[in-house]
């Protein structure tokens, strides 16, 4: 069919009904994806290209711009703060992705059993996912407040001391991680639950006959069959963790010191606080390329072990 494309111009003179039909069939997929493609082009790809263009300039957003060539990228490679932010993001992503996926799987396995009130339980675990992000950050900052937050109030009542959750470098990241897992857990649980339900019970029956215990069944049947779901969740969770903004902006503002400054935080600051849109764009492009590369690597790896796409 691709050959038809080249022929389109040559055959204009002898347009038979057959060629017309072939051309139509050739066009159908493009017509079908065109609404989405148009939207993506206008609102994702064009802005992205434009951001690339901006990244070669020194631009304050409110004034004139100046061509810098690779200046912003050179600055970025020398900027210790950027690398620190990237390292922080990596640590934050590693903690939140692994914790929310592991707990999500655990919950899914538990809630896949026939238990009284499991529909209610599932709903309760999913509930945080539907809370607006604006409210989540505010709520978390409110609860983790060192001085009048409820978390410390509970600790004090349990006879433990107060913890300076958001104002000490060692506790700030764990506080953020707890809030993130709270938000993310329900989504991971639902996807894992769905994946578990599509495993035929036949496999388990067979394993039982072979005398495999529960752990072996989980290790050799459940886990391998959950690979596609795990891949999907890994990609989505990593993207989410790399793009986290509101929660941290409201809870710690990137502090204390630089202990919770993430790349997106730093991008926001450059764009809208210190008026360095060109530099912000350069950092954004680098972050985008990193996420993309990460996903491709994961996709390759998971494709080797199991066919996903």
Q: Which residues, 21 to 80, sit near other proteins by CB under 8 A? A: 25-26, 28-30, 32-33, 35-37, 39-40, 42-48, 50-51, 53-54, 57, 59-67
Rounded to a whole number of angstroms, the minimum distance from the CB of residue 177 to other proteins is: 15
- Closer residue to other proteins, CB minimum distance, 95 or 191: 191
What beta strand segments (E) does the chain contain?
57-59, 65-67
Q: Which stretch binds other proteins (CB under 8 A): 11-19, 70-78, 91-99, 145-153?
A: 145-153
Q: Which of residues 146-175 bind other proteins (CB under 8 A)?
A: 146-150, 153-154, 156-157, 164, 166-169
Q: Say which residue the tokens 């993001």 belong to.
A: 89
Under 8 Å CB-to-CB from 122, ≥6 apart: which residues?
111, 189, 190, 193
Under 8 Å CB-to-CB from 86, ≥6 apart: which residues?
263, 290
Token output for 269: 């600051």
Token output for 182: 């709270």
Please say whether the beta carbons of 260 and 174 come within 8 A.
Answer: no
Q: Does 212 bind other proteins (CB under 8 A)?
A: no
Q: Say which residue the tokens 């039982």 belong to.
A: 208
Using CB under 8 A as the criterion, what x/- string covers residues 269-298 for binding other proteins? x-xxxxxxx--xx--xx-xx--xx--x---
- Closer residue to other proteins, CB minimum distance, 13 or 58: 58
Closest CA to 7 of 34, 28, 22: 22
C-alpha–C-alpha distance, residues 69 and 1, integer Å: 43
C-alpha–C-alpha distance, residues 268 and 309, integer Å: 35
Rounded to a whole number of angstroms, the minimum distance from the CB of residue 70 to other proteins is: 16
Number of neighbours of residue 192 by Cβ within 10 angstroms: 24
Q: Which of residues 231-270 bind other proteins (CB under 8 A)?
A: 232, 236, 239, 242-243, 245-246, 250-259, 264, 267-269
Q: Does 134 bind other proteins (CB under 8 A)?
A: yes
Q: Which stretch binds other proteins (CB under 8 A): 11-19, 71-79, 93-101, 135-143?
A: 135-143
Q: Which of 71, 91, 110, 207 binds other proteins (CB under 8 A)?
A: 110
Q: Does 203 bind other proteins (CB under 8 A)?
A: no
- Closer residue to other proteins, CB minimum distance, 19 or 235: 235
C-alpha–C-alpha distance, residues 77 and 63, integer Å: 26
Rounded to a whole number of angstroms, the minimum distance from the CB of residue 77 to other proteins is: 18
Token output for 237: 């969770």
DSSP state of 89: H
Rounded to a whole number of angstroms, the minimum distance from the CB of residue 95 to other proteins is: 18
Please say whether the beta carbons of 200 and 287 come within 8 A.
Answer: no
C-alpha–C-alpha distance, residues 270 and 58, integer Å: 12
Rounded to a whole number of angstroms, the minimum distance from the CB of residue 136 to other proteins is: 8
Token output for 146: 């060192």
Rounded to a whole number of angstroms, the minimum distance from the CB of residue 14 to other proteins is: 24
Q: Considering CB under 8 A, how many residues would be counted as binding other proteins?
A: 132
């Amino acid at each position: 069919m691709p050959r038809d494309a080249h022929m389109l111009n040559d055959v204009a003179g002898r347009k038979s009904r057959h060629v017309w039909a072939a051309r139509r069939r050739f066009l159908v997929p493009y017509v079908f994806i065109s609404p989405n493609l148009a939207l993506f082009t206008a609102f994702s790809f064009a802005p992205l290209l434009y951001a690339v263009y901006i990244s070669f300039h020194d631009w304050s957003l409110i004034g004139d711009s100046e061509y810098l060539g690779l200046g912003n990228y050179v600055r970025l490679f020398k900027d210790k703060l950027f690398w620190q932010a990237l390292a922080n993001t990596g640590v934050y992503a590693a903690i939140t992705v692994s914790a929310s996926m592991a707990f999500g799987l655990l919950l899914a396995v538990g809630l896949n059993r026939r238990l009284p009130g499991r529909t209610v339980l599932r709903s309760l675990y999913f509930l945080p996912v539907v809370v607006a992000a604006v409210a989540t950050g505010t709520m978390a900052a409110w609860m983790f407040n060192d001085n009048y937050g409820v978390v410390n109030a509970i600790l004090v009542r349990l006879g433990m001391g107060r913890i300076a959750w958001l104002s000490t470098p060692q506790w700030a990241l764990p506080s953020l991680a707890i809030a993130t897992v709270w938000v993310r857990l329900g989504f991971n649980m639902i996807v894992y639950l769905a994946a578990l339900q599509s495993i035929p019970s036949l496999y388990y029956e067979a394993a039982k006959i072979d005398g495999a215990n529960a752990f072996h069944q989980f290790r050799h049947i459940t886990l391998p069959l959950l690979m596609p779901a795990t891949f999907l969740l890994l990609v989505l969770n990593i993207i989410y963790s790399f793009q986290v903004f509101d929660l941290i902006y409201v809870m710690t503002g990137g502090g204390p010191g630089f202990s919770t400054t993430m790349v997106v935080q730093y991008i926001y600051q450059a764009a809208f606080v210190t008026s360095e849109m060109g530099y912000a764009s350069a950092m954004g492009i680098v972050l985008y390329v990193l996420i993309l590369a990460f996903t491709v690597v994961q996709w390759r790896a998971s494709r080797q072990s199991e066919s996903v796409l």
